[in-house]
Amino acid sequence: MKKLINAVDAVEEQMILGLVKSAPDKLAKLDCGNVVVRAKKKSADKVALVSGGGSGHEPAHGGFVGAGMLDCAVAGAVFTSPTPDKIFEGIKAVATDAGVLCIVKNYTGDVLNFEMAIDMAGDEDIKVDHVVVNDDVAVQDSLYTTGRRGVAGTILVHKIAGAKAEEGASLEEVKAVAEKVIANVRTMGMAISPCTVPAAGKPGFELAEDEVEIGIGIHGEPGTHREKIATADEIAKTLLDKILADIDYKGREVVVMVNGMGATPLMELYIINNFVQDYLAAAGVKVYDTMVGNYMTSIEMAGFSLTLLRLDDELKKLYDAPADTPALKR
Amino acid sequence: MDTKKILARIAAIAKKIEAEKDFLTQLDNEIGDGDHGINLSRGFKSVEEKLPTFADKDIGAILKGVGTQLVSTVGGASGPLYGTAFMKAGNVCKGKFELTAEDFAAALEAAVNGIKMRGKAVEGEKTMLDALCPAYKALKDGIDGGKNLIDALADGVDAAAKGVEYTKTIIATKGRASYLKERSLGHQDPGATSSLYMLQTALEVLREA
């Protein structure tokens, strides 16, 4: 294992401290653990947003704490959900009279830990609700699986629900718009090389020199299938076709996110975006805005994911609303 | 089983998990996200550090303390699941300093039901329940048939081991392995495996005079 770290068991805390020190006037870390909050708490009449998950997905989620997006992000160990006591501390720290909405990615661990934390908050009469993001079309949503995974589309839930909360909407309204984003956002990813969890010391999976994993999750977990590496355009087409077949995007305006998995050069992400834009135009999908960069990563995995969010007037307005966070400004 | 044996068992679980950490992680790499051994080892290490503070407590308080510590240190799905299991077992052992065979069975039953409730899962979904449910049934049948705790628990451990083997033959429908569908066939479930270890250590501790 070759990494720029100091000690395996210091990775998460030093990462969070470094993030906070990058914006000391805007972010703060709670003493109880790896919980990032806004330096200045929002007013009591606005809903607070809490998210979180395992570390290793930077800038998610701590990098999206700030005006117009999250109020708090709780970081667990690398690729491991944070524990209920820490999530509860985060909820308590940012809770307002208007309530708290937790944005949870659909993984059994994240859901279970957030549910326990929400029970704890409910016991203390904090008004709290949650939504579960499940945008990954690579895995089947059925009674026979845990349901689709939550991946890069989560960032758009942060953005849009965050803007709604900033307007002073009620908890019910903020939840409703988060649900609307979830209903309209779809993602699929792939990898060309694996990543190593520091505590494990070796890669979580292996890929041959000429092999790629299609439909991979953000923890390097296996996707739909492996195949021989193809051109960037061919791979992007495979992912896009699966997304476009899932909900009807024809004639609609969309936000496109070309998300790097951590070790993918921007050069390659732009090559992919070059194809994506032309392909969507030919498919009759109108691109309203495009985000290219690292938003939801998997440590040093090389690969990318594509996300499409179908817009309506409300989502467009909230997407365009101001945001001031380390990883997303508008 | 008295408080001394309970504490010895918790310490033995911690030792076993540490010894099998890489194996559990490797099993999880194959069908999950490769952190089961790492997470459990982190959790049980912190439980081990807390053990001296449990020394004069009753069994209910010990198990509850273990559960709370696991919930706050393990993370992932196994933290809330094992944490809930130990806390629920602790509830039925409240105030006790010695467990009869029937008490032990009642504690295991409460633990299993806690996992079912928290994970919204049942047997046959390639999870820890595929080791724990048959183990509870075999233990209970043994006790009802007049066996002592050691013999009944030996039946339970055998049933759990068979349950772990059984997880190789079924497709996961819960947890992260469920996405793999038929690709999860042939792999043994890491959660069922760690559950087997916990039962095995109980038996080993009981057998040490």
Which residues of chain B make contact with A203, given a CB cutoff of 8 A?
none
Residue A243: inside a domain, yes or no?
yes
Q: Prior bond to A24 cis, omega within 30?
A: no
Calculate how close chain A gets to B11, using CA atoms only, in Å: 22
Phi and psi, residue A78, nearest 5°: -55, 125
Residues of chain A whose beta carbon is less than 8 angstroms from a beta carbon of chain B are 54, 76-77, 79-86, 107-109, 112-113, 115-116, 138-140, 143-146, 149, 197, 199-200, 204-205, 217, 219-222
- What domain count does chain A have? 2
Q: Is there a single domain that holds both residue A166 and residue A200?
A: no
Q: End of a domain among A122, A148, A183?
A: A183
Phi and psi, residue A133, nearest 5°: -90, 130
* Cβ(A277)–Cβ(A243) below 8 Å: no
Tokens of A205: 């999976």
Q: Is there a single domain that holds both residue A76 and residue A153?
A: yes
What mean pLDDT do residues B75-96 have?
A: 93
Q: Considering CB atoms only, which of A81, A116, A204 is closest to B29? A: A204
Residue A330: inside a domain, yes or no?
no
- What's residue A220's pLDDT? 83
Q: Is there a single domain that holds both residue A68 and residue A78?
A: yes
B97 alpha carbon, distance to own chain's centre: 21
Q: How far is CA A65 from CA A62, A231, A324, A328, in A?
A: 6, 36, 8, 9
Residue A2: inside a domain, yes or no?
no
- What's residue A143's pLDDT? 61
- What's residue B82's pLDDT? 95
Q: Is there a single domain that holds both residue A26 and residue A157?
A: yes
Residue whose C-alpha is closest to residue A35's, from A91, A79, A80, A112: A91
Q: Is there a single domain that holds both residue A178 and residue A191?
A: no
- What's residue B192's pLDDT? 96
CB-based contact B35 A139, cutoff 8 Å: no
Q: Is there a single domain that holds both residue A168 and residue A124?
A: yes
> How would DSSP label each residue in B93-121?
TTT-SB--HHHHHHHHHHHHHHHHHHHT-
Calculate how close chain A gets to B3, using CA atoms only, in Å: 27
Q: Is there a single domain that holds both residue A161 and residue A209?
A: no
Quick one: angle between helices B190-207 and B78-92, nearest 10? Answer: 40
Q: Is there a single domain that holds both residue A240 and residue A295?
A: yes
Q: Is there a single domain that holds both residue A213 and residue A259?
A: yes
Residue A257: inside a domain, yes or no?
yes
Q: End of a domain among A165, A183, A201?
A: A183
Q: What is the CATH number of the domain that holds A270?
A: 3.30.1180.20
What mean pLDDT do residues B23-38 have?
A: 87
Taken in order of first residue, the domains within chain B and their CATH numbers are 3-207 (1.25.40.340)
**What residues contact residue A310 under an 8 Å CB cut-off, 6+ apart?**
A184, A185, A247, A249, A252, A253, A254
Q: What is the pLDDT along chain A (330 residues), one digit of tens a residue?
A: 999 999 999 999 999 999 999 999 999 999 999 999 999 999 999 999 999 999 999 999 999 999 999 999 999 999 999 999 999 999 999 999 999 999 999 998 899 999 999 989 998 999 999 999 999 999 876 666 778 999 999 999 999 999 999 999 999 999 999 999 999 999 999 999 999 999 889 898 889 999 999 999 898 877 788 999 999 999 999 999 999 999 999 999 999 999 999 999 999 999 999 999 999 999 999 999 999 999 999 999 999 999 999 999 999 999 999 999 999 999
- What's residue A144's pLDDT? 64
- What's residue B35's pLDDT? 82
Q: Is there a single domain that holds both residue A192 and residue A163?
A: no
- What's residue B55's pLDDT? 87
Residue A203: inside a domain, yes or no?
yes
CA torsion angle for B199, B201, B202, B206 (degrees, to 10)?
Answer: 140
Q: What is the CATH number of the domain that holds A94?
A: 3.40.50.10440
Say if residue B114's pLDDT is above 90: yes
- What's residue A101's pLDDT? 98
A1 alpha carbon, distance to own chain's centre: 26
Predicted TM-score (pTM) of this structure: 0.88
Residue A200: inside a domain, yes or no?
yes
- What's residue A18's pLDDT? 98
| Residue A276: strand pairing partners | none
Residue A4: inside a domain, yes or no?
no
Q: Is there a single domain that holds both residue A165 and residue A245?
A: no
Q: What percent of chain B has pLDDT over 70?
A: 100
- What's residue B179's pLDDT? 75
- What's residue A169's pLDDT? 98
Q: How far is residue A193's CA from residue A265's CA, in Å, rounded to a whole number?
A: 13
Q: How far is residue A292's CA from residue B153's CA, in Å, rounded to a whole number?
A: 57
- What's residue A153's pLDDT? 98
Q: Is there a single domain that holds both residue A51 and residue A134?
A: yes
**What residues contact residue A5 under an 8 Å CB cut-off, 6+ apart?**
A11, A14, A198
Say if residue B13's pLDDT is above 90: yes
Say if residue B104's pLDDT is above 80: yes
User: Which structural domain range is residue A71 located in?
Assistant: 11-183
Residue A70: inside a domain, yes or no?
yes
- What's residue A142's pLDDT? 61
Interface test with A, best of B25, B31, B33, B182 (most A CBs within 10 A): B33
Residue B196: burial class (beta carbons within 10 Å; 0-12, 13-18, 19+): buried
Tokens of B34: 């490769």
Q: End of a domain among A183, A217, A244?
A: A183
DSSP B173: -
Tokens of A85: 């006591």
Q: How far is residue A306's CA from residue A255's CA, in Å, rounded to a whole number?
A: 11
* Cβ(B79)–Cβ(B39) below 8 Å: yes
- What's residue A78's pLDDT? 94
Neighbours of A103 (CB within 10 A): 29
Say if residue B161's pLDDT is above 80: yes
CB-based contact B75 A83, cutoff 8 Å: yes
- What's residue B209's pLDDT? 67
